[in-house]
Structure 1
Amino acid sequence: MKPAPLHRRLRLPLIVLTCAGALAGPAALAQSPLNPAASSSSLDAPLFYQLLLGELNVRGGDPGAGYSLFLEAAQQQKNPELYRRAVEVALQSRQVDAALAAARAWARDIPSDADASRFTLLALLSLGRVSETAAPLRAVLMATPADDRNGGIAAIPQMYARVNDKAQVLAATREALAPFLTQPAHAGAAWSTIGRLELDLDRPVAATDAARRGHAADPASPYPALLALELLERGQADAEPVVREHIDAARAKDPANTAISTAYARVLLDLGRLRDARVQLERLTTRAPQQPDPWLLLGMLQVRDNALPAANVSLDTYLQLVRDANDERTRRALTQAYLLKAEIAEKQQDYVAANAWIDRIDNPEEIMAAQMRRASVLARQGRLDEARALLRSQPERRPDDARLKLISEAQLLREFKAWREAYQVYGEAVQRFPQDTELLYEQAMMGDKAGQPADMERLLRQLIAIDPNHHHAYNALGYSLADRNERLPEAKQLIEKAVSMAPNDAYIQDSLGWVEFRLGNTERALGILREAYGKRPDPEIAAHLGEVLWVKGQHDDARRVWREGLALASDNETLKSTLKRLNVEP
């Protein structure tokens, strides 16, 4: 078959065809989106030929020549589509410097075109020239519609995520955001972005200051509150007022918007501040009873507190509110609700109802969680061996399933205080997964519970040898020595090592306070324990703080702290044993 003529075989790109169409005359040129400012006489046959030749060079393996032709045409015509094609050709041939040159010429010739700044920014980032990105970044933000601008500002940290020099990123971003820091509509987002970049530099105090500045500029802006929540999670208690004040401001502006309030409750739960979380959730369910998530979180807290009738009401409300939802997030949350309902039935010794709730779980990703609860129901009936067999019989569909099965069995044994058996199962897990430091840590903790302190110390030292930065291992080893009143100087040294790695960890501060108390430094111990308890109200910290107060003769304060600890967890072993040893009725 005779080959088709060239003009039939060649598929000209849209840009060439559009320019060709413009040759029809002045009227067509006036309507062309390519070059509204150029005169009609400038789009002639020579230009068409130049673009065609440029395209042929690109298709024929000489993108450099094609790029030059497109760039020359773009500069002659001041045409954004021609500039775009020049940039695209350069990028496709990995000539980023050439793409940058074209993008900068584009921005110079047509400064109102935001795409020129976007391509300039892209090229500079690709070249690692971060210090030069401030101007194009600011231009892109200026060209962004005002309603969308805060979202663009908030996305800046992600845009620079792969840049290693975080200080350079912060400097460029500060320069780019300078005009927005004083605009009430954008200051909240701008200061929050600066705060997140401060966090990338591990400067939480500066990040907290940025959150405060953004909040002061616009108390209703969610961006400073979200940053403050992240800071609060990292132990920056000074950031919490930003969250609280935002919630008050947002409630006045839009009572139905509960996103930050719900996120705040979740953070409080993660921090172990269960009473504060409960207060927040009760307010939420009263203020916005149509929002499902607070009901689920409140139900979870109520189950933990054995407030079972109230928990049933909360969970039933949640299930009613999400009955028509079918998204993946809700399906995962439904699993949690069903498991909580099963736990309530189990605690009420209604094992048939418990299994019926478990049977509702059909998410294959949650099968092990369902079987864990089913095993608990069996164990609650005195059938612990059957419960263990059930867990071991589960198929291993995913790579992590074997590990998950062993962890589930060990957790079941822990729940029923079968310490020695749990220690053995963790040992089996460590043998199977010898590089898993978390399993080794859990085995060490079970060694202590099983009355094997020498094994615990050996395992923790083994863990430290594998991972010298495992601060929990240093803390656990130091605390175990302090609690047994053994080798106290060494115990303090170990705990101080953990503090240096995780200075905001309340549990590690608790250990430091406890070893100071054992060393006889009562005043220092009291200050450290008060700070730890303020950060994270916890029954074990309450036990230690209460004992120091008791020894100092502050009996009323000690009893108050112990009562608070019992309200958090009435069955906490450390707290119960402390009260028994001191013969105190709180």
Structure 2
Amino acid sequence: MSILKTVIGGFFVTAALSACAGSSQSSERDALPKTFQDAGGTTDVYQPSVTGQYLAGRHAMREQNADAASKYFADALLQNSDDIILLTGAFQAALGMGDIETALQLAQILVKEEGENSAPHLVLALDALRENKYLVAEEHLKQTSDTGFNVLVKPLLRSWVTLGSGDVNAAIAELDALDKFDGFDTLKQYHAAMIADVSGQQELADELYADAMQGPAGQAVRLVQAYGIYLVRTGREQEARDLFDDYLIRYPLSPTINLLIDDLDAGRPLKPMLSSPVDGAAEALYSAASVIGRERAVGIAATYTYFTLMLKPDFPVARVLLAEAAEDRDRWTEALDLYSQIDENSAYYKNARTRQAWATYKLGDQNEASRILEEVIDAYPNDIEALVVLADMNRDAKNWNEAALQYGRAVSRLPAFENRHWSLFYARGIAYEQSKQWALAETDLLKALELRPDHPQVLNYLAYSWVDRDENLDKAKDMLIKAVSLRPRDGYIIDSLGWLYYRLGDFEDAVAQLEKAVSLQAADPTINDHLGDAYWRVGRSDEARYQWQRALWLEPTEEQAREIEQKLKDGLPNKIKAEN
């Protein structure tokens, strides 16, 4: 028996059972299609090859389908269990699906092989960390590369590993490696302050927390939370309250800070965010996952979040981050499961429950999603988040009247209208416009523009609506020129400007703008239809018919399709007014 089967036999029992089912005569995956059958309607079944399974696994990884990739690599390894390339693929797939224990078992094999084994050493370092084996963890971290996202992760982890060995100053010094790169000042200040906090060095912690609050990290809720809890623990509750109040002036809906204030008011003790170097390493991985997620490397961010939970399973904010990563990859069942794991006493419960409703909707049960949201709406009478999600859900389902109603419920809960509320009026204005209630729509769009002057989306939607209604064309022109100057690569806004020129009878300028819009947004049926109209007006009838036909291929609405088919048959009438 190979070393692989000896070490991770359980993993391959499952794979073997799956492979047996996949290689049977009835398997649709491995049988040739009917086109290749002989005259008698039969054909030989071709057994999957190692190469084929490997290539399928690689393709699944590119598609971010780690579950399928894991299956393909496991099938391949049943035939060639000592192949380093297949082992590496299986290891990467295990990380992608969050199967840390399988990844750990594979890592123990991979580090014995020659070559680049940076990621397996990282997994083994984390395993040593959760066992408080700091020297072992340090040895594995030394074997990891200094490239890619490791330039962020490695210094953070080494700082907490060094603290675990008892050297506070050396731990903070490890963070100096972050100075080589722009944008990591916030994380450096945050983790330096927490290292001093966890080590119990109050004077140093006071200094480092104060420094961090003066820098960009002072805007981060995790730092405000950590510093506030530290102040309370060191007998400075009023300073903590002042800190929290100041933060709420900027971010009044922060669930984390509001819950901390509730705990203080009720006399409940505030639990420290971190109590050990292992907690600090988990925080470091969460910090890295948050940064990487903002760079849209969703799969890698998810892997680092799995690492976070490996070290600290009771970490609700990490579980929420992982659920958000699942949403970004349209893995709605996974997101629903993760959100449902958030405890009702957590600061993140309301958000998790709201997102749970959205995941339920995306999985096809709008009634249950509405029920969940109404529960949240009743439980938090001064909050509008669940109402906005309920409205967004109806807008997504094109239930425009219901969407407008729910946005209205959210607006009615606002004690005063602030600039940040522009999006509520904008969204309700769209719902009103789509439900043929133009007077109400125009009022809301103007209100959105009042709260957020010169916002290109609002400028565009209101101006285009005027153009389409043949109203306020001069004012619409000024607004659209401004919108284009703010978003010169937005095909929809450029289409609006082109359509304005068309309405004004300036067909040459209309063609110029609409051609540019189509080049930027080639798959939109309305923009292609508009360009067809403009081509017809300048005498380019063949090109006009091509654009109209293209618009039909792009699946317009039924009403649009009827109008386009009529134009393909008869062309356009002589007068523009007849097109309204």
Q: Same fold (TM over 0.5)?
A: no
- Choose 1 or 2 for highest CA Rg: 1
Per chain length, whose mean CA-contact separation is higher, i.e. which structure has more relative contact order (CA < 8 Å, sep 6+)?
A: 2
Task: Report the TM range for the smaller structure's normalisation.
Answer: 0.3 to 0.5
Task: With the length of structure 1 as denominator, give the TM-score of the two structures.
Answer: 0.38
